[in-house]
Amino acid sequence: MATFDKRGKVWRARVNFKQNGKYHQKSKSGFKTKQQAQLWASKMEVQKSENIIVAENPSFGEYYKKWSETYRIPGKSTNTVGRYRHINVLIEKYFGNEKLNKVSRMDYQNFLNDYGKTHSKNSIQKVHGTISACVHDAIIDHLISTDFTARVNLIFDKNRTKDVQYLSVSQTKKLIEQAESDLNPRYNSRYMIITAIYTGMRIGEIMALKWSDINFKSKTIDITKSYSYASQKIKEPKTPSSIRTIRVNQKLLNVLQQLKKYNHEYVFGTSFETVPTPTACNKVLKKLLKQCNINIPGFHFHSLRHTHTSILLYKGVDLYAISQRLGHSNMSITAKVYAHMIDELKAKTDNRIEEILDTL
Could you tell me the pTM of the whole model? Answer: 0.68
Q: How confident is the model at residue 237, as a pLDDT?
A: 79
Written in H, E and C, the secondary structure of the chain is CEEEEEECCEEEEEEEEEECCEEEEEEEEEECCHHHHHHHHHHHHHHHHCCCCCCCCCEHHHHHHHHHHHHHCCCCCHHHHHHHHHHHHHHHHHHCCCEHHHCCHHHHHHHHHHHHCCCCHHHHHHHHHHHHHHHHHHHHCCCCCCCCCCCCCCCCCHHHCCCCCCCCHHHHHHHHHHHHCCCECCECHHHHHHHHHHHCCCHHHHHCCEHHHEECCCCEEEECCEEECCCCEEECCCCHHHCEEEECCHHHHHHHHHHHHHCCCECCCCCCCCCCCHHHHHHHHHHHHHHCCCCCCCCCHHHHHHHHHHHHHHCCCCHHHHHHHHCCCCHHHHHHHCHHHHHHHHHHHHHHHHHHHHCC
pLDDT at 299 over 60: yes
pLDDT in tens, 241-286: 899 999 999 999 999 999 988 778 899 986 556 788 889 999 999 9
Of 16-20, 108-112, 136-140, 281-285, which gets the smallest average pLDDT? 16-20
pLDDT at 153 over 60: yes
pLDDT in tens, 183-223: 998 889 999 999 999 999 999 999 999 999 999 999 999 99
pLDDT mean over 318-333: 90
Q: How confident is the model at residue 171, as a pLDDT?
A: 94
pLDDT at 298 over 80: yes
CATH code linked to domain 60-160: 1.10.150.130
What are the residue boundaries of the structural domains of the chain, listed by start?
Answer: 2-49, 60-160, 169-330
CATH T-level fold of 169-330: hpI Integrase; Chain A (1.10.443)
pLDDT at 17 over 70: no
